[in-house]
């Protein structure tokens, strides 16, 4: 099988020749891995690891410094950079609208337009990765709006002035509906997976109630998945945390693939997820980023990757990868071990 055939087979819940693989990493983690392998050629590295998915890139406008070491991106998310031995690592701060006191301030904010993304290289990327499955996007419908507003502000808005929360999610959703439509046109419908992001869980349980999910997230998620399906793709939904209570509703909203299945409790283990949802949902990721990857031996990492492939990949429906972007505290030997353990 080609890489693309392998991924599409597993997403049809059919058994591929082997479990397909994906890869993503924070920039400092990439720098550490490049230093380990002795080169900085990402395609060469991914080929060595047998990675089947390629992430297409449409660069965003440059960030700007707003003072005191604080940076702001084109959406108004703000963050600082903490130094690591392998380069700076972003840490989020309160966003540009955290101090907003009126709805007029939200309306007056210089919201980005879809024209701001540089899609000029997408066709060339499709040609370069002709035999790979293609993933595009960084659409967010709730979490990044909350970063712009500040988490405290977003939670208060949802409870006391819900029109504010809906305004923010509407801005992001409309932007990415247009972005994904344009990308599908540019690439002639070649994209296999479109990413939608919004973290719903903590280590111990959901961040919000089911009622708030249905009011503030489900309508926008349905719009995104509906468009993705009309464009001929599948919706890969990312949420960290213990989100098992939301999974039936995510399926109802049109989610095809769930990432990253963070193994924070028994309900988020591969055996129970496959048993409860494996006929209706595919899975992506899952190799523990908090304890296993930073602390275990390569042999232990290999064994866990094999377990996920054998459990979640039985009969198809699984793409191997980490439970979050590889972090810089993960030894390169353990990154490689994830893919060496794949079956």
| Sequence-ordered list of residues with C-beta below 8 angstroms from that of 142, at least 6 positions apart, any chain | 169, 172, 198, 216, 217, 220
Residue 127 has pLDDT above 90, yes or no: yes
185 located within any domain: yes
Average of per-residue pLDDT across 2-12: 98
- State the number of CA atoms in the 13 A half-sphere of 295 facing the CB: 5
Cross-strand partners of 195: 236
Inside any domain, residue 313: yes
Examine residue 122 and state whether it is found in any structural domain, yes or no.
Answer: yes
- What stretches of the chain show up as alpha helix (H) in DSSP? 3-11, 27-37, 42-49, 103-108, 122-128, 143-149, 151-160, 162-186, 210-216, 218-230, 247-252, 270-277, 292-295, 298-312, 332-340
Distance, in Å, from the CA atom of 147 to the CA atom of 94, rounded to the nearest integer, reads 6
Is the pLDDT at 167 greater than 90, yes or no?
Answer: yes
Q: Would 97 be classed as within a structural domain?
A: no
Question: Residues 218-264: pLDDT tens digits?
Answer: 999 999 999 999 999 999 999 999 999 999 999 999 999 999 888 87
Q: Is residue 73 part of a domain?
A: no
What CATH number has the domain bearing residue 107?
Answer: 3.20.20.210
Inside any domain, residue 36:
yes
What's the mean pLDDT when you consider all of the chain?
A: 97
**Cα gap 194→140, rounded to integer Å:** 11
pTM above 0.85, yes or no: yes
Average the pLDDT over 106-121 and give the result. Answer: 98
Please tell me the number of Cα atoms within 13 Å of 81 on its side-chain side: 18
- At 284 the pLDDT is 98
Taking the C-alpha atoms of residue 327 and residue 308, their distance in angstroms, rounded to an integer, is 20
pLDDT tens for 66-102 read 999 999 999 999 999 999 999 999 999 999 999 999 9
Position 1 scores a pLDDT of 97
177 lies in which domain range? 3-61+102-340
What are the backbone dihedrals phi and psi of residue 303, each rounded to the nearest 5 degrees, phi first?
-65, -40
Q: What pLDDT, on a 0 to 100 scale, did the predictor assign at position 238?
A: 97
Please tell me what DSSP assigns to residue 153: H
Evaluate whether residue 92 is within a structural domain. no
- Token code pair at residue 18: 């082997």
Indicate the number of domains in the chain. Answer: 1
Q: What is the pLDDT of residue 266?
A: 85
The C-alpha atoms of residue 297 and residue 18 are separated, in whole angstroms, by 24
Residue 81 in any domain: the answer is no
């Amino acid at each position: 099988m080609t890489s693309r055939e392998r991924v599409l087979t597993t997403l049809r819940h059919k058994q591929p020749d082997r479990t397909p693989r994906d890869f993503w990493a924070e920039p400092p983690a990439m720098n550490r891995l490049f230093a380990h392998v002795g080169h900085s050629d990402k395609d060469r590295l991914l080929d060595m690891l047998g990675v089947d998915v390629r992430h297409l890139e449409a660069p965003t406008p440059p960030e700007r410094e707003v003072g005191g070491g604080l940076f702001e991106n084109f959406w108004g998310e703000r963050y600082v950079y903490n130094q690591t031995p392998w380069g700076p690592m972003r840490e989020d701060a309160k966003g540009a609208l955290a101090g907003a006191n009126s709805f007029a301030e939200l309306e007056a904010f210089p919201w980005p337009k879809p024209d701001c993304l540089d899609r000029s290289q997408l066709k060339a990327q499709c040609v370069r990765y002709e035999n790979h499955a293609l993933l595009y996007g960084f659409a967010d419908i709730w979490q990044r709006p909350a970063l712009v507003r500040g988490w405290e502000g977003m939670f208060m808005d949802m409870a006391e002035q819900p029109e504010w929360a809906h305004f923010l999610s509407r801005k992001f959703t409309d932007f990415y509906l247009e972005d994904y439509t344009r990308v599908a046109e540019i690439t002639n419908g070649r994209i296999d997976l479109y990413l939608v992001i919004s973290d719903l869980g903590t280590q111990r349980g959901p961040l919000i109630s089911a009622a708030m999910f249905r009011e503030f997230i489900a309508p926008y998620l349905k719009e995104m998945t509906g468009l993705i399906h009309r464009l001929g793709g599948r919706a890969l939904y990312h949420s960290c945390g213990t989100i098992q209570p939301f999974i039936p509703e995510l399926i109802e909203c049109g989610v095809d693939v769930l990432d990253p299945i963070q193994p924070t409790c028994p309900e988020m283990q591969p055996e129970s997820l496959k048993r409860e949802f494996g006929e209706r949902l595919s899975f992506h990721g899952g190799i523990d980023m908090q304890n296993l990857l930073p602390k275990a031996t390569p042999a232990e990492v290999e064994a866990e990757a094999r377990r996920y492939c054998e459990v979640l990949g039985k009969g198809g429906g699984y793409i191997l990868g980490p439970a979050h972007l590889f972090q810089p505290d993960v030894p390169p030997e353990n990154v490689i071990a994830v893919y060496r353990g794949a079956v």
